[in-house]
A and B are shown apart, each in its own frame.
Chain A
Amino acid sequence: MTHSWTVGPEVIVSEDNEGPQTFIWAGHTHRVATLCNSWRVHTGWWQQEVWRDYYKVQTDDGLLCILYHDRLRERWHLASIYD
């Protein structure tokens, strides 16, 4: 079943210029095998600014998920996991 969070759990990410390389979630380190897509959401600057970079990634153990980088708070979160 696809798991979506309203505000996803925070994850620790190591990245390079291309995007996330590995992330640690629930105590496990997941290595990004494929970066499927990336997009930016920059909105709400007139009210409550949101500036996020989203990455749809597939890990080397077959997990397909969406991560986002909250640019304003400099934090990474997990947004969805596809099953």
Chain B
Amino acid sequence: MRVLCLSINDFWLAWARSHERAPSNRPVILTVGGRVRACSREASLAGVQPGQTERLALARCPQASIQEMEEARPRLAWRQLLAALGRFSPLIESAREGLACFPSAGLERHYRTELQLGLAVGQTVKECLGLAGGIGIADGRFVAEAAASQACPGQVLVVPTGAERYFLQELPVTLLPLDEESHRQLRLLGIRTLEQYSDLPYDAVQSRFGRPGCESWHRARGTDNQPLLRHQEERQLWATTSLDDPVRDQSLLARAVERLLRPLCGSLRREGLACQELLLATELEKGPAVVDRHVLQEPTADPGRLQAAIMALLARRPAAVQSLTVTLTRLTRLEAGHQLDLFMERQVAADLDATLAALAVRYGADCFQRARAISPDALLPEQRFTYERFQMMP
């Protein structure tokens, strides 16, 4: 199956450099809540890794520029790109931002050649994101993805049918979707290229790396038959309002937000839904429009809680507000949204013990055992927990 793959290496970084004025001549570290989320190659070589604290990252790479990562706008732009790619194919797979695939068989008839098709996709990407990505076209998703990752931004790399193994042979084994431990073992074994990996006996790969290793073995040989999975466009509800004059007063803003939320919450309630995340796009009197994202602790359709979250976001904006757009995302069934208590109420626990004691009298205490965790991360199940004989509460 011919597949076209679009890959924008280091998507978040590319976005920050293109749209957020992150410097291109210095290492860049992107953070969220004081922790590193992404970093440039130079910073990575200096020892910066995702998950580190901002302070540690700066100690490892003092010359780096640290920037708070903008998540909402790039995500929104990526969604718009996926919608735009829908005119090439109805089946778009996107495992993460910066990577998208779709079957391209037959499309070359509309675009004369596969190269022309790739260039048309590249143009769409440029228009939607303002970024250029590498594009690979090949038989199978893995080969297309490998080709896209090797292509320079804006370049189209077409791998002819039958040349997959030849194309893959010199590429690094790190392209394979294996876990960190497997990659470490491959490094220790001196296996650097996909050719070396595909030359290993199948039995040995199965024995050492299990099922993921076997799948990767087929991929390294260019025989990847994994079907593409359709990207499910998330349902969203949104509403927008423009204020006649720029408003700074919190009580007036609260009233505008309340009006905005009324129909949205009505729709949620009618359909028995709750939202888990909201996006607030604010057009300010001075400066560019900003998009804020807020993840709710528990899904809700309650206008009061949504309003409180929005007002907290608005309080961060010192300038007067010209217009507001609220988007409710990650919609879920209302009844599935309640967080269960982690710590049971004492009365409930006492009732359970009383019930268990009654059952023990009826069926005998030997019928019941209490599971106790010993070492939840142990390799062997018998070391993780133990069953203890049930003893009635005094």
Contacts and interface: CB of A to CB of B under 8 A. Distances in A.
A79 B382 CA distance: 9
Contact of A40 (B210, B382, B385, B386): B210
A4 B380 contact: no
A5 B381 CA distance: 8
B271 to A, nearest CB: 30
Contacts of B25: none
A79 B387 CA distance: 15
Chain A interface mostly? strand
A7 B382 CA distance: 6
A38 B211 contact: yes
B379 interface: yes
Given A6-B386, A6-B387, A37 B381 contact: no
Identify the interface centre among A5, A35, A38: most chain B CB within 10 Å of its CB. Answer: A38
Nearest to A5: B381
B308 to A, nearest CB: 39
A24 interface: no
A39 B381 CA distance: 14
A50 B380 contact: yes
Contact of A80 (B206, B207, B211, B381): B381
A12 interface: no
Contacts of B208: 40
Nearest to B202: A17
Interface string A1-25: 0001111000000000100000000
A29 interface: no
Given A6-B385, A6-B387, A41 B210 contact: no
Contacts of B380: 41, 43, 50, 52
A40 B387 CA distance: 25
Contacts of B382: 6-7
A41 B379 contact: yes
Interface string A70-83: 00000000011000
A33 B203 CA distance: 22
Given A6-B381, A79-B381, A37 B387 contact: no
A35 B379 CA distance: 21
A77 B385 CA distance: 18
B207 A43 contact: no
Given A4-B381, A43-B379, A35 B387 contact: no
Contacts of A52: 380
A37 B63 CA distance: 45
A39 B385 contact: no
B194 to A, nearest CB: 23
A52 B386 CA distance: 20
Contacts of A39: 210
Contacts of B203: 17
Contact of A37 (B206, B207, B211): B211
A64 B211 CA distance: 17
Contacts of B211: 35, 37-38
A49 to B, nearest CB: 12
Contacts of A40: 207-208, 210
Interface in A39-67: 39-41, 43, 50, 52
Interface of B: 203, 206-208, 210-211, 379-382, 385-387
Identify the 10 closest CB pairs spanning chains A and B, nearest first. A6-B382, A39-B210, A38-B210, A38-B211, A41-B379, A37-B211, A43-B379, A79-B381, A7-B382, A4-B381
Interface of A: 4-7, 17, 35, 37-41, 43, 50, 52, 79-80
24 contacts: A4-B381, A4-B385, A6-B381, A6-B382, A6-B385, A6-B386, A6-B387, A7-B382, A17-B203, A35-B211, A37-B211, A38-B206, A38-B211, A40-B207, A40-B208, A40-B210, A41-B379, A41-B380, A43-B379, A43-B380, A50-B380, A52-B380, A79-B381, A80-B381
